[in-house]
A and B are shown apart, each in its own frame.
Chain A
């Protein structure tokens, strides 16, 4: 394959970044409306070993997965559960978009910084 053919076959960097970020944003916004509210595997296991559910039963609405914990450290994050409560769904969308942007910028920044220092 010649260089020109290669150039035509592949998408350029800016398009690739743009499409990738748009896909990430669509997934993030869709997650606000469509993501399952069921506990994740670790939380379900916690409810199971606490006797709040059987292995295959539905999880209790008011089950507290963290009740079993023995650790003492507590930390209050600015957007707990990917939400900005005061703003409702809009707040959730803002929180997720913010997260996507921060991760993207951080990875770009850290990678470039490491490269410059090398």
Chain B
């Protein structure tokens, strides 16, 4: 879902950058106030893992491949959508600047789609679904699928505003491909949460509901 430079005209790209920067500043504030010292290794390892797995494209049929984005995973594990913004911003900077994956001018839009939308949709749908299904892993998988799917629809709308994709075919194709790619997102998110949960349950924020209330 990494938007290349060519896909968004500069004035629009600048607007996405400004919106993204607001969330990046809020994410840095989250890290300063909420990220405890003992979680720094977790967030660093998680980010390294997310970077690695993003390079691992899996075929989903229809001549298309996809990979985990990891926004929902980061937000659920660290107990805040801003954790996703924090991790994805750094991952996207390295991907764009060092590896040419995702543009420089379009990095703001990519941070919004994968970090902000992915993180917020993943986090809040996880806690919403969890209140109906008393389990840690199924809600995580569904939330991760939703995070992938809704980010993709947002991306399709941005591509329409940019004049790059027509609206309806863009939404249909982005929706179809990411409905399939979202299955990868769901399975790996639930699997990774299970792994962290069994090795370091103390690092997880699974029980913590929105705004720090105990779920």
- Residues on A with beta carbons closer than 8 Å to the beta carbon of B8: 71
| Chain B at the A interface: SS class | helix
Q: Which residues B38-60 have CB closer than 8 A to chain A?
A: 38, 40-49, 51-53, 55-59
* Interface-central residue, B31, B86, B87, by most chain A CB under 10 Å: B31
- Residues on A with beta carbons closer than 8 Å to the beta carbon of B47: 103-104, 107
Query: Which of A20, A42, A115 makes the CB contact (< 8 A) with B45?
Result: A20
| Chain A at the B interface: SS class | helix
Q: Decide yes or no whether B214 CB sits under 8 A from chain A.
A: no
How many Å from the CB of B107 to the closest CB on chain A?
A: 10
* Interface-central residue, A20, A58, A59, A108, by most chain B CB under 10 Å: A20
Query: Which of B3, B13, B170 makes the CB contact (< 8 A) with A49?
Result: B170
A-B contacts at CB below 8 angstroms, number: 250
The answer to whether A59 touches B48, judged by C-beta atoms less than 8 angstroms apart, is: no
The answer to whether A72 touches B2, judged by C-beta atoms less than 8 angstroms apart, is: no
* Interface-central residue, B33, B35, B100, B178, by most chain A CB under 10 Å: B100
- CA gap between A35 and B205 in the complex, in Å: 32
How many Å from the CB of B64 to the closest CB on chain A?
A: 4
How many Å from the CB of A7 to the closest CB on chain B?
A: 10
The answer to whether A81 touches B103, judged by C-beta atoms less than 8 angstroms apart, is: no
How many Å from the CB of B91 to the closest CB on chain A?
A: 6
Q: Decide yes or no whether B163 CB sits under 8 A from chain A.
A: yes
The answer to whether B164 touches A103, judged by C-beta atoms less than 8 angstroms apart, is: no
Contact-residue size bin, chain B (C-beta under 8 Å from the other chain): 35 or more
Query: Which of A6, A24, A71 makes the CB contact (< 8 A) with B106?
Result: A71
The answer to whether B90 touches A103, judged by C-beta atoms less than 8 angstroms apart, is: yes
Chain A 72-97 near chain B by CB (<8 Å), digits 1 or 0: 11111111111000000000000110
The answer to whether A71 touches B5, judged by C-beta atoms less than 8 angstroms apart, is: yes
- Write the chain B residue with the least CB distance to A34: B56
* Interface-central residue, B40, B61, B152, B201, by most chain A CB under 10 Å: B40
- CA gap between A2 and B162 in the complex, in Å: 58
The answer to whether A79 touches B31, judged by C-beta atoms less than 8 angstroms apart, is: no
- Residues on B with beta carbons closer than 8 Å to the beta carbon of A44: 62-64, 173, 177
- Residues on A with beta carbons closer than 8 Å to the beta carbon of B134: none
How many Å from the CB of B104 to the closest CB on chain A?
A: 5
* Interface-central residue, A59, A73, A102, by most chain B CB under 10 Å: A73
- Write the chain B residue with the least CB distance to A20: B45
- CA gap between A53 and B199 in the complex, in Å: 45
21 example contacts (A-B, Cβ-Cβ < 8 A) are as follows A6-B202, A10-B201, A13-B38, A16-B41, A16-B203, A21-B45, A24-B48, A24-B52, A27-B55, A28-B51, A46-B7, A46-B165, A55-B176, A57-B63, A66-B4, A68-B7, A71-B105, A81-B99, A95-B99, A102-B94, A111-B43
How many Å from the CB of A55 to the closest CB on chain B?
A: 6
How many Å from the CB of B183 to the closest CB on chain A?
A: 12
Q: A48-B173, A70-B9 are in contact. Are A115 and B37 (CB under 8 A)?
A: yes
